[in-house]
Amino acid sequence: MLYRVPSKSVIRQVHFENTEYLVKEEYPAFEWKILDETKQIGQYTCYKALAIKKLENEKSIPIEAWVATSLPFNYGPANYSGAGGLILELKTEVFIFRASEIRLFDDEREIDFIDTDEELISLSEWNALFRRGRN
């Protein structure tokens, strides 16, 4: 089975040199191949999912994730998402992320959203600003 969610963006509020910036970052869209292979992580049955991440230098790296499809949260660590459930383990050539604890709440939680009427800057603009500030 293939599972693909379109790319999404996130807005991060960053404080740098006494100024607040709103940085808009696009998350890449991955085409996940969900396999029949399972493993238990905590109390959740997870399915193995594979994807390829294309890098800026035209190279690609394989991504392996273990997805709890019973948790209807389409998120994962480090900008990896869209696998059809909550990613509880993620492995690349460089790092491994593992969930150590999952706590779900039945009560409603209030979220303080960032005022997006303020001017947004792109991730590349933020990176250039940060590099200039460090030199």
Q: How far is CA 56 from CA 6, 53, 60, 61, in A?
A: 19, 10, 9, 11
Residue 77's pLDDT is 85
Residue 44's pLDDT is 94
Please tell me whether residue 43 adopts helix, strand or coil conformation.
coil
Residue with the larger pLDDT of the pair 117 and 91: 91
Confidence of residue 133 (pLDDT cuts 50, 70, 90): low
Question: Per-residue pLDDT tens for 44-80?
Answer: 999 999 999 887 788 888 999 999 999 988 888 877 8
Mean pLDDT for all residues in the chain: 83
* Domain range summary for the chain, segments of one domain joined by +: 2-99
Confidence of residue 87 (pLDDT cuts 50, 70, 90): very high
Residue with the larger pLDDT of the pair 56 and 39: 39
Q: Encoding tokens for residue 37?
A: 């292979």
Q: How far is CA 28 from CA 10, 45, 70, 80, 104, in A?
A: 11, 26, 23, 8, 27
